[in-house]
Structure 1
Amino acid sequence: MKDILQDVSSSSLVTAIESNLFAFLPLFELCPQAEIHDDPQLLWSLTDIPFPLFNSIMRARIAPDDVNAAIEAAMTRGREKNVPILWWTGPTTKPSDLGMYLNMHGFTREDDAPGMALNLRSLNTDFPVPDGLTFEKVKDAERLKQWHYPFASGFGMPDFAVNALIDLFEQISFVNQLPLLHYTGWLEGKPVAAGSVYLAAGVAGIYNVVTVPEARRKGIGTLITLALLREAQMAGYRISILHTSKMGLSVYRQLGFQEYCSIGQYLWSPEQA
């Protein structure tokens, strides 16, 4: 319990929002043929999977004189593997105007993701539950296959990317027994929602929350997030963090999450070169 974050100051929560994300990226090393590079300047992953998430760069601490060379090196890696590159920025990114350099090199800025945090002692749990809705913790690889349907359908990702992620999650959660936990939401016996919680960097990071299109607007996304947060509470965690789309803000505000920072994403593809 000594490593669980207790400091609820704004500066501590901003750090936690980034740190949990930074702790997740090295897990991609469990992907076949993945390369993880971690030095004081950059943390990055590179695979032969042509989906941006698998080829991410984050935690930039680059001296101004080295920025252009670092960006060009990233683009070279992408060309050699013929994969897109996703570069993440945040409140501790250095230089602070890194986004400007990325734009100059042909990276396209995606929508910024609000970085949010919640003191679990202030969690709002008062939500109606639709008839026939239940939640199940994914306890083995077979149940992860059931989790696959709402995850894939809800996000609309290409099959090759979904299959690679499912393989990765199986390695993380059930082979290596690392603290990435998943829940499936069931409505009248059908899997309709998915979500994950990653217990790292002293906080509980909420990821992969999604509802299938035909089951939306019933509050199911809020309720599966609540199930994940209760899992974090049972594990003794005090703080939860997440990075959301602007469309998800109202859902998480209802639970008690507040915005503390912004996480930027810049996308580059070898087709742009």
Structure 2
Amino acid sequence: SRGRHLSWLITDLPDFFTNLVVSAQLPSDRADELIEDALTHFRRKNIRKLSWLVQDEEEAGEMNEALLAHGLTFRESFSIEMAIDLATLLTDLPSVPGLKIIPVIDRSALRQWIHIASIGFRIGEEFEKVWYELVAEVIFDMRFRTYLALLNGKPVGTSQLFLSGGVAGIYNVSCIPEARGRGIGTAITLAPLLEARRMGYRIGILQASSRGYRIYRRLGFQDFGNLSVYLWENDCELMRV
């Protein structure tokens, strides 16, 4: 759902990962009202847990204080926002023997992609069905490109490319634990960016976790911001437990 100041994705699962609110800075004179209205809505929907993502800015202090005052807890600086001029993308990198990166073009491959991404992100198998239902109807939109990395024929990594507004965004870069440290994360990130560049896109963006940050810097990405995450649990639910 999307309002003027807030966007959210809510499911029926009691998990921080599957219920997300995203906001930039709220108007200072309405921040408390907007936060409380949103939380009241989630209580009525019996949402038990959610994560609230905030883009860090110099004037973010009031927003952070407002979230804390409404019972949310600061978890961490969730990711670093990064960007690159695709003309400067580093491409002279060692190849990975036995690695093949293929597009996901049907629903069977999408289920496989979700399973590998779930392993890479350490998401429980019980969430794979929900993830599939959330994306199956839109994932084959022409703005999306979805990629699966195969190492000697075995699925080991994932990534996605989203094209909009002249910008190429990279999302859901993952690698299963036993295949890490071989350059697969770099390769599964680079392939979509090269495709975007061939299509005429000039700017690439992504949000880097601490694990992927070094890879993206190596490719030429530069920092331009941060996202912080706050956690909320439904106090009404907690009182009934």
Tell me the CA shift for residue 90 of structure 1. 1.4
1:61 Cα offset (Å) = 4.7
Match of 2:75 among 110, 114, 118: 110
Q: Answer whether contact 1:57 1:86 (CA < 8 A) is retained.
A: yes
1:47 counterpart residue number: 11
> 2 CA distance for matches of 1:224 and 1:76?
41
Which among 43, 64, 86 is matched to residue 120 of structure 1? 86
**Higher-helix-fraction structure:** 1
- Where do residues 178-217 of structure 1 align in structure 2 (5 Å cutoff)? 178-217=142-181
- 2:139 partner SS: helix
Deviation of 1:247 after TM superposition, in Å, equals 2.3
Residue of 40, 62, 66 corresponding to 1:101 = 66
Q: For structure 1, which runs of at least 5 residues remain unmatched after alignment? A: 1-35
The 5 A counterparts of 1:1-273 are 36-39=1-4, 41-80=5-44, 81-91=46-56, 97-112=62-77, 113-174=79-140, 177-270=141-234
- The superposition leaves residues 179-208 of structure 1 with CA deviations (integer Å, 9 ceiling, x where unpaired) of 121110001110000111111232111111
Contact 2:166 2:201 in 1 (8 A): yes
CA drift of 1:93 comes to 9.2
How far the C-alpha of 1:74 sits from its partner, in A, is 2.2
Greater alpha carbon shift after TM alignment, 60-69 vs 197-206: 60-69
**1:72-130: CA deviation from partner (whole Å, max 9, x where unpaired):** 22222232322322222115697652112112222122322111001100000122122
Cα pair distance change 1:77/1:93, threshold 3 Å: farther
Preserved CA contact (<8 Å) 2:168 2:201: yes
| Stretch moving more, 79-88 or 256-265 | 79-88
Q: What secondary structure sits across from 1:72 in the alignment?
A: helix
Hey, what's the Cα distance between the residues in 1 that align with 2:92 and 2:129?
A: 35
TM-score (norm 2): 0.88
The answer to whether the 8 Å contact 2:25/2:63 transfers is no
Letter in 2 for 1:192: V
What fraction of aligned residue pairs are identical, expressed as a percent? 35
CA distance in 2, matches of 1:82, 1:139: 34
SS at match of 2:91: coil
- Report the more deviating stretch, 90-99 or 231-240: 90-99
Contact 2:170 2:205 in 1 (8 A): yes
Letter in 1 for 2:131: L
CA shift, 1:53, in A, is 4.5
Aligned length: 235
Q: Which amino acid aligns with 1:227?
A: A
- CA drift of 1:216 comes to 0.5
